[in-house]
Each structure stands twice: as structure tokens, then as C-alpha cells.
A and B are shown apart, each in its own frame.
Chain A
Amino acid sequence: MTLTILNAVLFSVVLLLAVGFYGLLITRNLIKIVVVLQTLVKAAIMALVLAGNTSGNPGLGQSAAATVLVADTVVAVVALALAVQVRRRAGTLDIARISTLRG
């Protein structure tokens, strides 16, 4: 496999996905989970641009990527706000301890 620009992008997509999933598996801190989710979404955005380019329709890929970027920012903001609330109410950001709280 020669290192063309396409392969380089594909490689980074896979790398970002792997980092994201690995992080999701081992992280227990709510803020870090938001960060990791952002990593995953960035991989998806790159994949969209790549797919647009390879299918000969780069405009579509880029506009989809821009849409995801906007939606994803909103998600990140809300998730962080929720994390702050969780910290205030439950006193911890550790998801394993939050999930044992009842009621």
C-alpha cells in the first residue's frame, strides 16, 4: 500500500476510531468520556469528507461534515453542562459510582 493522501486520511480515521473506542472502554470520568466521544465524531467527520471525495461528490461530503460539526458541538456543550450538574448533585464524575445511585 503506497502512502497516497487518501490512504493517509483513511489511516487517521481508523486510528482516531481506535483511540476513541479504547478510551470509551477504559474511561470512567464523565468529562473524559465527552472528550473521547469528540474524538470518535472527528473520525466520522473525516470519513465523511473522504467518502465524498472517493465517490466523486466532494461537495456533499463536505456539507455533511459541516452539519455534523455543528450538531456535534451542540451535543458536546449539553454533555458538558450535564456533567457539571452531575458533579454538583452526585458529588462525583465517576460513572461507575453514579450508576449505583438510585432514585
Chain B
Amino acid sequence: MAGILIGFVIGIPWLGAVALWLTRDRNSSLQHALAVGFSVAAGIASLALIPFASARTVIDLPMGRYFGNLTFTADGLAVTLTAIACVVGSLAVIFSVDYMHGEAQLGRFYAFVLLFIGAMTGLLLSGNLLFMFFFWEITALCSYALISFYNDDPKAVAGGIKALIMTQVGGVGLLAGALITYAALGSYQVADLLAQAGTMPANLLTLAAFGFLLAAAAKSAQFPFHTWLPDAMEAPTPISALIHAATMVNAGVYLLARFYPAFEQVPGWKMAVTAVGLVSALITAFMALTATDLKRALAYSTVSQLGYMVYAIGVGGVFASQFHLLSHAVFKALLFLAAGAVIHATGTREMARMGALGKQMPFVRNVFILGALALAGLPILNGFWSKELILEAGLSAGPQWAYDGMLLGAGMTAFYTLRMTWLVFFGTARETFHVHDAGRAMKVSLGLLAAGTLTTWLLAGPMSETLHGTLPFHSIHSLSLFGLAEEIFTAPATYLALMVVAVGLVIFWMVRHQATTWRENSQKSGAGNWMTILSRESFGFDWLNRQVAGRTVQFASVLQKTQTGILSWNVVGILSAFLAILLYLVWSVK
């Protein structure tokens, strides 16, 4: 049964992708209907898969000597994330019915969304490192294609290329890790790596561990790759919600969590993971303080929250990180989709032009506030529980300086969250828009995500139970909901964190009238100035990332010259290779 369901969650979206590709943009309502149908079916299949979570391999197909068996394992970690991917995926598709209404080339849009959902579930469920890498690359390709969906906009194309190149750097890390594992253990199976990591030579294990960390950092837009995600915001907003907030960027965190037991003992690895998470969380929170583009501000906060998850893994809190991943996927998808409704209504992403939209869009305002409160970490929303769990894990097992940094990050999160909400929905109207509240399809997905933001923390018990029961190599304690509540409310750290959050909120409240004029201030000299410049340049890392992307494109265009398309030149190439091989053979016989 589990095997059939795994086939469904990967097969249904891919079948849908083919079907939508074939519709050829003749009938847009058929395309909307097909996309919603296929994605909702995948969502239902993914939810039905949850009760079948187990540690054993469900599907095992021999693929020949060099690839190992293609295996799928539906353990607790995989089914939870699969459910997130498919359910948030279907909600994003439902949202798109309104958001993409009247756009051209819907077939291309939906086909890539569905291809992405299938690839993401394949990546999560795959028990074979090499096939995990294949799925990983397909998600990167879909991400690229959807960022550049408006392919007549140079910014969108550049953002897509940058995201593709940056995630490829990570792909190299993953491939290297997989090949090293094969070299050392003779197997690509994830289960073998987890079981026999101790028998691998220490230097190879270290290489694999840092290769996976590189892959995770690039995919999850962590330091020093954190600049591709804000540039990816040129994508249509449902894509930002699905791929760049709720699913694909989580793949890095998933990778670290999956292989934590294997690499835990590698000297320096946990510290490196902690440091990457801390640095990412802090610098992007800082950049979110001054961002004036609504989607970029949300993207910075996504990197920052992913930093929290990476940090949690670095200090050994695997469950805390996955729990925050669940909370974050729900409330950040909600925030992005609500932002999408605002952008759809106003036609701009610039917060400096918005303001006082709350009265005209009460529904969107209410759900956005709900998501914002969860992001800031206020009780009793889901973000509160998971963030407190992370901070607690950090306090008990991690270094003190890292904990202090994360606490500061929580305060900054509260500050920029309130700032976003204030600039968009409250204050004075800086421009008049003739806006309408969200449409029906938008309200369905926003409403469901808002309900999720209020309730997913109730799943802490069953989720920890499943992870505890199905991950034999991880040591995850099962934690009842009551136990969680007790643990969090009796810890003094919780109140400290809440105080920091409150301080962040209060500081913004005091400067709220200056927030709207920061843009003008930044043109003159003053406090806003250096902060804006520093943020815009990502502390100089934007330059570095641009260089890497630019050089790769340059190199590619040099290589392009070898593709002349002229037959005679190709024959010359074939002949010279042939002669070279012949000469080598003659030489070696002598």
C-alpha cells in the first residue's frame, strides 16, 4: 500500500505535468482545473501516506551494477516533508487560479509547478543517494524555469540564471558526497551510509560531510550563498511561496537532518553547521530591516528562518529543526500568498508606495497579521513553539555565543515583521490604489494556511512519535503535546526570548513614523544610509555571488563557440579524438 502511495505522490504530479504540457494553452479554465485536480490528488495521496511511515524500504528496483538499487523509503522525516510539499503545493496551485488569471502560457507554468512537486517528493522519499541527486537537480531546474517564467524581463532571467548556478555549486557538493560514499562503502543507499559511517576512513567521511554541508547551504540559500534567494523573487508569487519558502529551500535542511547521525562525529562539522546557521540568520535578518521590496523582505526572512533550522541541527536539535520547518512552511507560505494578494491588487512590490491597505483588504490583512505573529514567534501560534524549541536546544547543547546571536535574531525578526505589516496595511496611504480584497480561490488557500498557522503545533506529539519510531539512527525523543507545553512554559529561556521579541516590537513601535521615510533618508546621509548600502550589497557577498554567476556564464559562452553546427568541423573533432586515441594505444603498446 505504501508503495502504491509513493508511486502516486511522485507519479500524479508528473502525469499532470505531461497533461498540462499537452494542453497547449488553448483553454485556460481547463488548465486551471487540471492543475488543481492533479495537485490536490497528490496532496491527498501524501496525507494518506503518513500512517504508513516506517523505516523499511518500500520500493526496491534493481538498476544495474553501477547505480545501485532505486529505493524509496517512507520514514517519518520523508512523509512529513512530502505532506508539506504536496499540501502547500496544492494550495499554491489553488491560489494561482486567481493570481495567474489571464496570464499567457499557463501550460508552461503549471507543467513546471507539477514537475517540481513530483521531483521534490522523489527527493524526499528516495533512499538512494544518486537518485536523490537526480531529483535534486530536477527541482533546481524547475526553480530556474519558474523564476524566469516572465522570460521577457531581463531581471527575471538574470535571477533564474543566478539561482541555477548557485544551486549547481551545491549539487556538485551532493554529487561529491554520493560518489565518496560509493567509493568508501560500495553502496549508494542512504541507510548504508547512516549505518556504516563509522567504518569509513576519517578523511573521506569528513569530505562527504562538508560536501553535504555545501549542498545544503547552496540549496537553502545559507551563508555564503544567501543572495540568490532575494533575486529569485522575480518569480510569480505562488512560486515564491511554494518553491522559495515552503519546499525546495527546505531540501538543504532536510539533507542535514537526514545525515546528521552519520556526520555528528566528524570534528568541526557541527560547529560549522551552527556557524553557517547563525551567520545566515543574523545577516539576512539585518537586511530585512531595511528592505523596501515586500517580497525581498520576505525572502530575507526566509533565509533567516532557514538559518534557525540549520543552527538547530548544528546543536543537535533535529526534531526542533524539522518542527520549525513545518511551522515555517505553513506560515511563510501564508505570508507570501497574502503578499501575493496585495501585489496582485496594487501592481507593485514596493512597500514605500503602499500603506493603509488594511481597510480595503481586511481578509488579507487579518491572515497576514496571523502569519506575521507566527514569524515573530508570539504564542500560541506555530512559529512560537518551534522557535522556542530551537532556542532551548541551542541553550542546552550549543555554544553560548551562538545562542546569544540567535536571541538577537529573534528580536530583529519581531522588528522587521512588524515593520512589514505596518508599512503595507497601516500608517498613512502613500499612494491610492483601487484595490479589491482577495478572490475566492485566493481566500480558500489563505484560509486553509491561516488555519494551519493556528493549529500545526498540535501535531508536535504525533510528529515526534513518528520520527522517534521510524528513524533508527537518529535519537529523537517522542514528546507529547503536553510535555512540549510543559517543557516550553517552565523554561526561563522562553520568557527571555519573549522579552527580546517584545523589545523588538517596542523599538519598531517607537520609530514607526520614521520607517516610512527611510527611503528618502537613505538618499541623504544618516543612519539609514550605511544600513541600506550594507544590505543592498549583502555585506559584499552579493558581489562574490555575482562574480561566480557572471564568470560561469562567460565561460559557457566561450564553450559555446565549439558548437558551430558545421558538420565539417564536427568531423574534424571526431577524427582528431580518434587519432589521439590511436596514438595513445600505439604509444602504450610500445
Q: Are B571 and A99 in contact (CB under 8 A)?
A: no
**Interface 0/1 of A52-84, CB less than 8 Å to B:** 000000000000000000000000000000000
Q: Are B571 and A21 in contact (CB under 8 A)?
A: yes
Q: CA–CA, A26 to B571, complex, Å?
A: 10
A25: interface (CB < 8 Å): yes
Q: Are B575 and A99 in contact (CB under 8 A)?
A: no
Q: Are A33 and B567 in contact (CB under 8 A)?
A: yes
**Interface 0/1 of B134-162, CB less than 8 Å to A:** 00000000000000000000000000000
A90: interface (CB < 8 Å): no
Interface residues of A in 17-71 (CB under 8 A from B): 21, 24-26, 33
Question: Which residues of A are at the interface with B, using a C-beta cutoff of 8 A?
Answer: 21, 24-26, 33, 95-96, 99
Closest to B569 in A: A25
Closest to B568 in A: A25
Q: Are A24 and B565 in contact (CB under 8 A)?
A: no
B566: interface (CB < 8 Å): yes
Partner of B575, one of A21, A33, A95: A21
B572: interface (CB < 8 Å): yes
Q: CA–CA, A99 to B568, complex, Å?
A: 12
Q: CA–CA, A44 to B572, complex, Å?
A: 19
Number of B residues with CB within 8 Å of any CB on chain A? 7
Q: Are A24 and B566 in contact (CB under 8 A)?
A: no
Q: Are A99 and B565 in contact (CB under 8 A)?
A: yes
Q: Are B572 and A99 in contact (CB under 8 A)?
A: no
Closest Cβ–Cβ distance, residue B574 to chain A (whole Å): 8
14 contacts between A and B (CB under 8 A): A21-B571, A21-B575, A24-B567, A24-B568, A24-B571, A25-B568, A25-B571, A25-B572, A26-B568, A33-B567, A95-B567, A96-B566, A99-B565, A99-B566
Closest Cβ–Cβ distance, residue B319 to chain A (whole Å): 56
Closest to A30 in B: B567
Contacts of A99 in B (CB 8 A): 565-566
Q: CA–CA, A21 to B568, complex, Å?
A: 10
Contacts of A96 in B (CB 8 A): 566
Q: CA–CA, A24 to B567, complex, Å?
A: 8
Contacts of B568 in A (CB 8 A): 24-26
Closest Cβ–Cβ distance, residue A81 to chain B (whole Å): 19
Interface residues of B in 514-571 (CB under 8 A from A): 565-568, 571
Q: CA–CA, A33 to B567, complex, Å?
A: 10
Contacts of B575 in A (CB 8 A): 21
Contacts of B567 in A (CB 8 A): 24, 33, 95
Extra contacts besides A21-B575, A25-B568, A25-B571 (9): CB < 8 Å: A24-B568, A24-B571, A25-B572, A26-B568, A33-B567, A95-B567, A96-B566, A99-B565, A99-B566
Closest Cβ–Cβ distance, residue A90 to chain B (whole Å): 15
Q: CA–CA, A95 to B571, complex, Å?
A: 14
Contacts of A95 in B (CB 8 A): 567
Closest to A36 in B: B571
Q: CA–CA, A26 to B565, complex, Å?
A: 15
Q: CA–CA, A4 to B500, complex, Å?
A: 93
Interface residues of B in 196-246 (CB under 8 A from A): none
Closest Cβ–Cβ distance, residue A20 to chain B (whole Å): 10
Q: CA–CA, A98 to B571, complex, Å?
A: 18
Q: CA–CA, A21 to B579, complex, Å?
A: 12
Interface residues of B in 81-129 (CB under 8 A from A): none
Closest to B565 in A: A99
Q: CA–CA, A25 to B566, complex, Å?
A: 10
Closest to A96 in B: B566
Closest Cβ–Cβ distance, residue A103 to chain B (whole Å): 14
Closest Cβ–Cβ distance, residue A38 to chain B (whole Å): 15
Q: CA–CA, A96 to B566, complex, Å?
A: 7
Q: CA–CA, A24 to B572, complex, Å?
A: 9
Q: CA–CA, A21 to B582, complex, Å?
A: 16
Q: CA–CA, A33 to B568, complex, Å?
A: 11
The 8 closest A-B pairs by CB, nearest first: A24-B571, A99-B565, A25-B571, A25-B568, A21-B575, A95-B567, A21-B571, A99-B566
Contacts of A24 in B (CB 8 A): 567-568, 571
Contacts of A33 in B (CB 8 A): 567
Q: CA–CA, A95 to B566, complex, Å?
A: 8
Closest Cβ–Cβ distance, residue A36 to chain B (whole Å): 10
Q: CA–CA, A24 to B575, complex, Å?
A: 11
Q: CA–CA, A24 to B566, complex, Å?
A: 11
Q: CA–CA, A24 to B568, complex, Å?
A: 7
Closest Cβ–Cβ distance, residue B271 to chain A (whole Å): 56
Closest to A26 in B: B568
Closest to A27 in B: B567
Q: CA–CA, A96 to B564, complex, Å?
A: 11
Contacts of B571 in A (CB 8 A): 21, 24-25
